Amino acid sequence: MARCIDVVSPRGRFAWSRGAAQTASTVLRALLVLLALVWAPAASAQCLGDGVQLFPTPGAVVPTNTRFLLEGVGTARSPVSALPGRTVRLSAPGHSVELKVTRGWESSLGRVTVVLQASEPLQPGKRYEMHLDSVLPNVTLLNGRGSGLPGWLTGKGPDKSPPLWQKKPAVSEGFFRRSAQGISRFVKLNLALREESPSYLVVKLTPRRAGIAPQTYVLPVVQGNAAFLGHESCGGAFALEDGRSYRARVDAFDAAGNPAPGTASVDFEAPSAQTAQQ
């Protein structure tokens, strides 16, 4: 269960004044309960099993020119990282296409994501299924629906328009949770995109201290207005160090790979154990 919530000031720093903490205590308790209910199942799923995740999430409606992202978590990282150059079949009644696997991004915390690009456009109004077993036998799909093949419904046609920022990303709050498995640490990016297709972010995270290599990885956009940057106790997309200052360059893409206009970098400090105790 979450141990604290650190609220971010407009400057991007996590700090509590004693008076503000007292005033907000009732609201924070309610938020803690909500976060425990929402985040705990996802955290358990990541810690208790290894496997793959797909973007767009199976069951979503996708444009006919969609591409797919395949993420390997834990023990599935190595098999997924070996896929570039291979193909995966995507089939619908009366139509089948090959998805070519190309390199994507690697996380420092046991994850890797590859890109699957169709050899030709999909047909509108069909349900396509991905035959992952041909390249990843008996793999566990962590964000699937049911026990069948992962599938998507195509919309009316291709998506040729880039997503547009309605609210550019900004860090709103931080989350720090200590459990028997370790420490979970996230910051929440608030944002809004005008986009009908599923969308995702590519984040380049650079520590403000010189000499440390940046991290670049992908994050899904949650409910169209948020993304969570950080890690669970058992792994994640980005390693955040206690109280360290970071700069994040955030780029957004839709399912077809159309990029949103560039945005300014976002500065913030990672939640720390010290602020959790205040």
> pLDDT tens digits for 121-146?
999 999 999 999 999 999 999 998 76
Q: What is the largest CA-CA distance in the chain?
A: 65
CB 199 within 8 A of CB 193: yes
Min mean pLDDT across 15-19, 85-89, 267-271 is at 15-19
Instruction: Give me the pLDDT at residue 49, please.
Output: 64
Per DSSP, the three-state class of 276 is helix
Per DSSP, the three-state class of 60 is coil
Residues 275, 14: Cα–Cα separation, whole Å? 8
Spatial CB neighbours of 194, under 8 Å, sequence gap ≥ 6:
163, 164, 165, 166
Of 120 and 7, more confident = 120
pTM of the model: 0.80
CB 131 within 8 A of CB 150: no
| Site of tokens 């690009």 | 117
CB 174 within 8 A of CB 6: yes
Range 160-169 burial, b when 16+ CB lie within 10 A, else e? eebbebeebb
Nearest-5° angle of CA 94, CA 95, CA 99? 160
Residues 241, 227: Cα–Cα separation, whole Å? 19
Domains of the chain: 4-46+161-276 (2.60.40.10), 51-154 (2.60.40)
**8-state DSSP, 11:** T
Q: Give the residue among 67, 65, 63 at the shortest CA–CA distance from 153.
A: 63
**8-state DSSP, 8:** B
> pLDDT tens digits for 231-263?
888 788 998 988 889 999 999 999 999 999 988
Backbone angles phi, psi at 24, to 5 degrees: -95, 5
Segment 57-75 shows an average pLDDT of 96
Instruction: Give me the pLDDT at residue 36, please.
Output: 37
User: Where does the pLDDT of residue 160 fall: very low under 50, low under 70, confident under 90, or very high at 90 and above?
Assistant: very high
Residue 114 corresponds to which tokens in the numbers above? 């590859």
Residues facing 69 on adjacent strands: 55, 115
Instruction: Give me the pLDDT at residue 275, please.
Output: 56
CB 214 within 8 A of CB 222: no
Segment 173-198 shows an average pLDDT of 88
> pLDDT tens digits for 1-59?
333 443 333 333 333 344 444 444 444 344 433 433 344 334 333 454 689 999 999 99
CB 145 within 8 A of CB 54: no
Query: For residue 61, with 0-12 CB atoms within 10 Å meaning exposed, 13-18 middle and 19 or more buried, which class applies?
Result: middle
